[in-house]
Structure 1
Amino acid sequence: MMAQYLEIKARHENAILFYRMGDFYEMFFDDAVAAADALEIALTKRGKHNGEDIPMCGVPFHSAESYLLALIRKGFRVAVCEQLESPAEAKKRSGKSVVKRDVVRLVTPGTLTEDSLLNARRHNFLACYSEIRAEGALSWADISTGELRLITCNQTRLGPELARLMPSEIIIQDHLSEDLGEVIRELGISITPFPSSLFDSASGEKGLLDTFGVASLDAFGEFNRVDVSALGALVGYLDITQKGNMPLLRTPIRETENRTMQIDAATRRNLELTHSLSGSRKGSLLATIDRTLTAGGGRLLEQRIASPSRDLGTITQRLSLIDQMITATRSTQSLKELLRQVPDLERALSRVALDRAGPRDLVSVRNALTQSISINTVLGEIDGDAALVDLSAKLLGHDALLDLLDDALVAEPPLLARDGGFIATDFDDELDETRALRDEGKSVIAGMQQDFISTTGISSLKIKHNNVLGYFIETPGTHANKMLTEPLNETFIHRQTTANAVRFTTLELSQLETKILNAGARAIEIEKRHYFTLTAAILDASDRLFETAGALAQIDLTTAFADLATGQDWSRPSLTEGREFDIVGGRHPVVEAALRETSGSFVANDCDLSDGKIWLLTGPNMAGKSTFLRQNALIVLLAQIGSYVPASKATIGIVSQLFSRVGASDDLARGRSTFMVEMVETATILNQADEKALVILDEIGRGTATYDGLSIAWATLEHLHETNRSRALFATHYHEMTAISDKLDRVENTTVRVKEWEGDVIFLHEVMRGAADRSYGVQVARLAGLPATVVERAKVVLEALEKGDRDGNNGKKAVIDDLPLFSSTPSPAAKPKGPSEVELKLDQIMPDDLTPKEALALIYEMKELSKDS
């Protein structure tokens, strides 16, 4: 057995070998040591090899999926080695008891299909990048849904494309590992280098033709040499990992670079599109707006957020579908109820194709088709346009398959086909007869037990069954002598003696056992035959079934967007091919949702960047500048995925690129300071942004000396205005920059309003035209909880520095030299004053249910009326 293990392991040195032995997957040698540590299971020993103990550990076969997932997440690959015959077959074949085994599947991050190993609401992409003579192509597939796509892509574009797709695994030519490794690992993607032979375009073309069963790739579009290399290598890798059992891939679709809005990795991270900065889904845009009810709809939503469209026709059609759903309120409610019961048709299909399905996957297909008919009926009640009619039509056309599955399958089948019991009664007469024999045999056994009790007079006698003895008669040891003496010993044949009982059989019982066991095995055999017939029928209809799955996902997402728009008071955006950008009453969807949970309200703001305007935004920290910047970027993104937006009105010229430089972070692993990261991200924007881009920049230059930072920020703004000519929001604390608006015609000064009240600063979160004269940093520091002595000292230093600025450099030095020494003893607290006449008046006139905002407004009014208060 160990010789067989070592021979198989030698062929899969880079993977942990799950070696099937009965009900366990066993691991040996270094695999066992690594797996025991990763899985936190016991490491034992078994036998010796070259005079040393063999390390060993194992996991149960029936619960192996959770262990597989744990190993994959920790960066391992797993080769699953199964028994290909029974011990009896092995004995008959070779006279030896070692059964034939071989690897049936290589499990890698990009080749998972089981529901328990995947997030139902996320795609699991396997990507492949190929490069031939400086030309590059990126292909990707989700074998759990059958999607297969390709885009022309050089090394410069690879990072942003991978950030958009976020595949679990990428295959690359081994000689590119050093050049591309850093970019790929930065995104947390598993890298699989392969020799160039896998990327040979001639072999790749042959593999593609065999996979799709065609004589030429021309039917799928035009593919050059590097395209075929990328697609062929991906398909070749699937053939290697799935051991020839190819997944059900749809025909490849070519994407073009100008089809979607370009968003780089830093911008996706800064805007928290699919994950928050902490790495969790909660707090992201995706989590906030996801009201989909099906797994397919959830995946489609994430895909749209990752790849907003730049095609005006596509966006307009999506918005029109939402309009129709909003108008048909009653029908939309009915759709939601039906969608809740739609299974994941795409992934069930893929498991069927890979022979990893069970009876429940067949039932999922049946139930999805049943719900599709009901959904089609409801859609027929809506006065829809051609796009809705087309979606509705894709739900139909499966009558013959649905009738077959309806007739063949029970309502609630078992998990595994080998357990039987999933084929419905009356579907197959032979199966019904065999089941009757099997089931009546049990009642005959019960009757036989009563007969034996009467014959022997032993009331505790039982007929039992196990896998070793089959059926047997068991009596307590105290009655054994009676069974072993005449006349009973002529009928009852001794089989086994245990500690507390003695076991017997009879000729009659043995004959009945053979009859029953044959009936049970025959029933399972008939059911398995029907199982393969049903899966073949499903695969024959796979193309249409994938269309139905796609239509169900679109209907779900459209219904979800309609629900979001009506529930959150969002409006339909107006999109154009120009450079308009006029947001009226815009809100940040994630912040607004968070405030709603605490009964707070969000302050809406306008933003007009039409024709390449740049708003230079000043104001204190905590006033909401970063929120304002992000909300306008998110409104654009929502509009271009085909959703209503959180604004009273929005007119937006299609945005080609979205760039964000917001927030502070370092990259110590790569030796980059916070300032260096900021400069790299800013350089990316200035080198790539075009006049249809939207750029949001926050606090450029803050990580270095004041005048260095100011000069960098100033030059960056000028470059955006004169060279990039992009629509932009530029937030800064360098108030000196407000003078730029006098020099550059498309730069406008804006600020976030605040109010001062008895030394405190109150944030109103309102963006208005104009410029802030200071940043209120000391007041914000006090709100943050800095010790009172530090705050007081900061005020003194600030006053001295400001006086020095007024007096010039010499004056500033003199003022700083004259600063009193720092004292940790706080100034004596002022004696509390009694209530003023104004405060007494407020007590009388303010109602108990006054909101904080209304109270502040009243306080400001009273303050203006009573300057001495």
Structure 2
Amino acid sequence: MKITPMLRQYLEIKEQHQDAILFYRMGDFYEMFFADAVAASKILGITLTSRSSKEAENKIPMCGIPFHAAANYLGKLVKAGHRVAICEQVEDPKQTKGIVRREVVRIVSPGVTTDEQILDAKTNCFVCALVFPRKSKGSSPVGLSFLDASTGNFLVSEVPVRGDDHTALLDMISRINPAEILLSEEHYRQQQPLVADLKGLQEQLCFTLRPEEQFQQASARITLLEHFQTVNLDGFGCAALSSGIRAAGGLLAYIEETQKAALGHVRKLTPINQEGHLVIDESSRRNLELTETLIGGRREGSLLSVLDHTITPMGARLLRQRLLFPLQEQQRIEQRLDGVEELVNDPGGREQLRRLLEEVHDLERLCSRLVLGQGNARDMWAMKVSLAQLPAIRQALEQWRCPLLRAIHSQLDELTDLHQLIGEAIREDAPITLREGRLIREGFHQELDRLIHLLRNDRQLILNLEAKERERTKIAKLKVGYNKVFGYFFEVSRAQSAQIPEDFIRKQTLVNAERFITPELKELEHSIATAQDKRLELEYALFSEIRERIAAQSSRILDTAQQIARIDVLACLAELACQYRYCKPRLNSRAEIRISEGRHPVIERTMESGRFVPNDVRLDQDSCQLMIITGPNMAGKSTVLRQTALIVLLTHIGSFVPATEADICTVDRIFTRVGAMDDLRRGQSTFMVEMNETANILNNATSHSLVILDEIGRGTSTYDGLAIAWAVAEELVTKDQTGIKTMFATHYHELTELAASQERVLNASIAVREWNETIIFLHKLIPEATNRSYGIQVAALAGVPEHVTRRAYEILAQVEQGDFHHHPSIAREKRGANPGPEQPCQLSLFPTGKHPVIGLLEATDPDELTPRQAQEILYEAQRLLRAGDS
């Protein structure tokens, strides 16, 4: 097959970007060839054609898209997990002989993009680099770095990993939720189990493999130092993070390589300080549905969707970040709460502030596009509109006196110089593309004004010259003409040609006329003919210069964007508190959680006003460290558990909470084990998932943690499940001799007996009322135990046929009488019997006959026992049980 010069150039460029779909610019289209065309045509839904060839086997698959509509197509490819290399013509075809030179000007990937059509305005788009340590014994840290090219947010951390346990690493990655993972080729091969787990977290996660040398300590360090222009990394607080520096340097080099531009908006490297934040592991974030729902993974229905009343994209992203990284330091939490309170108490001022924020666009991403040389005139105008609001926003902040709002006021740069520059230079009606002209305002640049004047008044300028020459030559019928051969010319009659001045140059003689040109006419003609090209070139040059001047101030712009985001989040939380009747929580150092009339922030929004039943909760280290909650399904046990965890979490982000009163201690971690499902990806059953989460809690919870347990042991046999639940409850109330604040919902009513043997256990239940063989859920938490689960009544409410539920009553009655064990196949003739209105109690897992153990317990007074005597009685009870079994 004959290779054309164009195809040869394409193949040479494609060879350098084999892991990307190549957008090859040809005139007004981006073309794709070979395998790229086949893959892209399927994803984009466009026609797959081929370059003409007589031999069918030599036809080259191809497809193309208009360059002006590329953004939408690009978004589809990136969202499908592909990288795209944008290859542009870097020479003017009019001034080039032969093939036009082309170069890849940037690479777009799921984690590295600034395109609005691809990005979610409310969420950061991070790419993550992972660096694994050399083989070593014990626990070794894995280096992580995250960078959002669209905002300049650059993070670094290290996570200790012991052996093949990647739990902590997965937790950190899932919290930040990158769209792309960078790994060395060697580590990608070695870490296949981890790769599988990461793909399980996010199906469309893109993996990009890089040469190992990109992550070498020396080269990574040099990359960072050269970018930040510092002699060391001490000022960023990350000099000791050896693996983290390797990851950060390799990541920065990757972003520079793909964007083909200096990353001036990446101003600092921020260590992730895990000690300063309340930790919520991946399973707990999922169980509490903080950012997406457990089923379907949707944002709507999550806690974030209820909280997010932000106005700006920067504020929305900061709110999400605060929800995933809650504070642990009491002073900082109280500063945020004071800021929210001041805005709550001034509804007029808050409303004025929020109206001003409505005019503020995404300053972070606007700045990033301009810095990377990808921003257009509309981006600049959006920035100008945003900057116009800053003086009024700063003035509005003057009225408030809390330290946090005063600090934001003092740090808010109004950027008046940039606002003035854009206002004077950029046209409001500028097009999206940069090569069409109409970018720069008249009056900004003298030469551009001259060119615009030429283009606008070309005909009049010609007529003016005609009139001038008519006056000079005294030839009344002298006129200007035009044709494609000579261009503009002066025409006079043959009779008047003798009056022509010497500087007129004869170009053509006709039967009745003579045609002449003059240097002035030709100069004017040339100026008019080249004015459009010169104007386009000059406007682009001026625009690029203005863009560079703005990019040079990226640090100021991003600082301002950060202050706007902080204001937005505080105003958002104040608006939330006012709309939904939230209260300001108090923080205490008594290790106590006390909530009056607490509500679930998400569930109450799905119900009519006033329908949600609030509940009181108290947990402390003295009298109620372990709360065991019993009651039927659907009664609201899980809701009470979750709302308690969410109220504590909201306090730690500095938000008011859904309650009439809340007194909350700071906690170091929130653990939840709520519900369970099979994890087919890891080949784990429901019970294994449940035990993994339970093990994580028992191994890592401290006396400063909050633990939420909803049903332990359901995935195995009844007796095993009860034994595990009992042992877990005991461990939680006695661990490290101080115990852990825990709420434990269960259907094992035997667990309520723990209150008799442990001082800090409180029994509670969700109240119900019986009516005509059915039950009414009151959804009220009361301080007393229940021994009934009302399972059959709940089944009836769920729509199970009546004859099935009545049969269930019969079987339960016989089971309680002991018949079930002796007659596994219960007589069918009893099926028609009606057990009557008296409903059977919950079956006890302990023997119901007069067993020797029961006699032993009846003869024992627990209040009179020493710990040693209690232990001896337990040993005796075990001996009696074994004797009975034998």
TM-score with structure 2 setting the length: 0.82
Could you tell me how far 1:441 is from its partner in structure 2? Answer: 3.0
CA contact (8 A) 1:410 1:422 kept: yes
Superposition map of 1:667-816 within 5 A: 667-723=679-735, 725-804=739-818, 811-814=819-822
Could you tell me how far 1:578 is from its partner in structure 2? Answer: 4.4
What residue in structure 2 maps to residue 159 of structure 1? 170
- Give the one of 5, 9, 23 matched to 2:10: 5
Distance 1:417 1:59 in 2: 19
Letter in 2 for 1:298: A
Q: Residues 819 and 103 (structure 1 numbering): CA distance in 2 closer, same or farther, change over 3 Å? A: same
Letter in 2 for 1:407: E
Could you tell me how far 1:610 is from its partner in structure 2? Answer: 1.3
Distance 1:685 1:562 in 2: 34
What residue in structure 1 maps to residue 857 of structure 2? none
- Give the one of 77, 86, 108 matched to 1:80: 86
What residue in structure 2 maps to residue 182 of structure 1? 196
Letter in 1 for 2:813: E
Q: Residues 683 and 176 (structure 1 numbering): CA distance in 2 closer, same or farther, change over 3 Å? A: farther
Could you tell me how far 1:183 is from its partner in structure 2? Answer: 2.8
CA contact (8 A) 2:25 2:31 kept: yes
What residue in structure 2 maps to residue 216 of structure 1? 232
Distance 1:123 1:446 in 2: 59
Superposition map of 1:294-333 within 5 A: 294-333=312-351
What residue in structure 2 maps to residue 543 of structure 1? 555
Q: Which moved further from structure 2: 386-395 or 517-526?
A: 517-526
- Give the one of 215, 218, 221 matched to 1:202: 218
The question of 1:525 aligning with 2:537 is answered: yes
Superposition map of 1:397-796 within 5 A: 398-441=415-458, 515-596=527-608, 599=609, 601-611=611-621, 613-723=625-735, 725-796=739-810
Q: Residues 255 and 829 (structure 1 numbering): CA distance in 2 closer, same or farther, change over 3 Å? A: closer
Letter in 2 for 1:610: D
- Give the one of 156, 169, 181 matched to 1:150: 156
What residue in structure 2 maps to residue 170 of structure 1? 181
The Cα RMSD (Å) is: 3.1
CA contact (8 A) 2:264 2:552 kept: no
Q: Which moved further from structure 2: 727-736 or 391-400?
A: 391-400
CA contact (8 A) 2:387 2:414 kept: no
What residue in structure 2 maps to residue 18 of structure 1? 23
Could you tell me how far 1:580 is from its partner in structure 2? Answer: 1.3
What residue in structure 2 maps to residue 340 of structure 1? 358
**SS of 2:617 mapped into structure 1:** strand
CA deviations on 1:85-116 (whole Å, 9 max, x unpaired) are: 1223330xxxx2x1111222221111011112
Could you tell me how far 1:818 is from its partner in structure 2? Answer: 4.6
**What stretches of structure 1 of length at least 5 have no aligned partner?**
449-462, 473-485, 493-507, 805-810, 831-869
CA contact (8 A) 1:801 1:816 kept: no
Could you tell me how far 1:373 is from its partner in structure 2? Answer: 0.8
Q: Residues 292 and 635 (structure 1 numbering): CA distance in 2 closer, same or farther, change over 3 Å? A: same
Distance 2:646 2:267 in 1: 32
CA deviations on 1:459-481 (whole Å, 9 max, x unpaired) are: xxxx999xx99x99xxxxxxxxx
Q: Residues 378 and 32 (structure 1 numbering): CA distance in 2 closer, same or farther, change over 3 Å? A: same
Distance 1:146 1:572 in 2: 34
CA contact (8 A) 1:578 1:654 kept: no
CA contact (8 A) 1:738 1:771 kept: yes
Distance 1:366 1:551 in 2: 17
Distance 2:462 2:699 in 1: 84
Distance 1:126 1:577 in 2: 39
CA contact (8 A) 2:38 2:48 kept: yes
Q: Which moved further from structure 2: 793-802 or 44-53?
A: 44-53
Distance 2:131 2:825 in 1: 65
Distance 2:71 2:482 in 1: 34
Q: Residues 404 and 710 (structure 1 numbering): CA distance in 2 closer, same or farther, change over 3 Å? A: same
- Give the one of 163, 185, 192 matched to 2:208: 192
CA contact (8 A) 2:78 2:118 kept: no
Q: Residues 514 and 796 (structure 1 numbering): CA distance in 2 closer, same or farther, change over 3 Å? A: farther
CA deviations on 1:131-177 (whole Å, 9 max, x unpaired) are: 33423221111111111111221234211111211111121233333
CA contact (8 A) 2:672 2:709 kept: yes
Q: Residues 28 and 625 (structure 1 numbering): CA distance in 2 closer, same or farther, change over 3 Å? A: same
CA contact (8 A) 1:143 1:247 kept: no
Superposition map of 1:254-269 within 5 A: 254-269=271-286
What residue in structure 1 maps to residue 254 of structure 2? 237
Letter in 2 for 1:58: G
What residue in structure 2 maps to residue 117 of structure 1? 118
Distance 2:688 2:617 in 1: 30
What residue in structure 1 maps to residue 47 of structure 2? 42
**SS of 2:104 mapped into structure 1:** strand
CA contact (8 A) 2:597 2:661 kept: yes
The question of 1:381 aligning with 2:399 is answered: yes
Q: Residues 406 and 791 (structure 1 numbering): CA distance in 2 closer, same or farther, change over 3 Å? A: same
Could you tell me how far 1:182 is from its partner in structure 2? Answer: 2.5
Distance 2:196 2:482 in 1: 64
Could you tell me how far 1:783 is from its partner in structure 2? Answer: 1.1
CA contact (8 A) 1:26 1:56 kept: yes
CA contact (8 A) 1:163 1:264 kept: no
Q: Residues 447 and 730 (structure 1 numbering): CA distance in 2 closer, same or farther, change over 3 Å? A: farther
CA contact (8 A) 1:205 1:228 kept: yes
Letter in 1 for 2:410: A
- Give the one of 368, 387, 399 matched to 1:369: 387
Q: Residues 81 and 361 (structure 1 numbering): CA distance in 2 closer, same or farther, change over 3 Å? A: same
CA contact (8 A) 1:803 1:815 kept: no
Distance 1:711 1:512 in 2: 99
Could you tell me how far 1:186 is from its partner in structure 2? Answer: 2.1
Letter in 1 for 2:265: L
Distance 2:564 2:776 in 1: 49
Segments of 4+ in structure 1 off by > 6 A? Answer: 442-448, 486-492, 508-513, 825-830
Q: Residues 159 and 444 (structure 1 numbering): CA distance in 2 closer, same or farther, change over 3 Å? A: same
What residue in structure 2 maps to residue 459 of structure 1? none
**What stretches of structure 2 of length at least 5 have no aligned partner?**
1-5, 135-139, 466-480, 489-508, 838-886
Superposition map of 1:48-67 within 5 A: 52-67=58-73
Could you tell me how far 1:618 is from its partner in structure 2? Answer: 0.4
Q: Residues 819 and 327 (structure 1 numbering): CA distance in 2 closer, same or farther, change over 3 Å? A: same
**SS of 1:357 mapped into structure 2:** coil
What residue in structure 2 maps to residue 251 of structure 1? 268
Distance 1:442 1:667 in 2: 77
CA deviations on 1:273-296 (whole Å, 9 max, x unpaired) are: 111121111101011111101111
The question of 1:820 aligning with 2:828 is answered: yes
CA contact (8 A) 1:800 1:819 kept: no
Q: Residues 151 and 491 (structure 1 numbering): CA distance in 2 closer, same or farther, change over 3 Å? A: farther
What is the number of residues matched between the two proteins?
A: 771
Distance 1:446 1:264 in 2: 79
CA contact (8 A) 1:169 1:192 kept: yes
What residue in structure 2 maps to residue 287 of structure 1? 305
CA contact (8 A) 1:789 1:826 kept: no
Could you tell me how far 1:218 is from its partner in structure 2? Answer: 2.9
Distance 1:143 1:428 in 2: 33
Distance 2:682 2:829 in 1: 42
What residue in structure 2 maps to residue 476 of structure 1? none
Could you tell me how far 1:201 is from its partner in structure 2? Answer: 1.1
**SS of 1:138 mapped into structure 2:** strand
TM-score with structure 1 setting the length: 0.84
Could you tell me how far 1:528 is from its partner in structure 2? Answer: 2.2
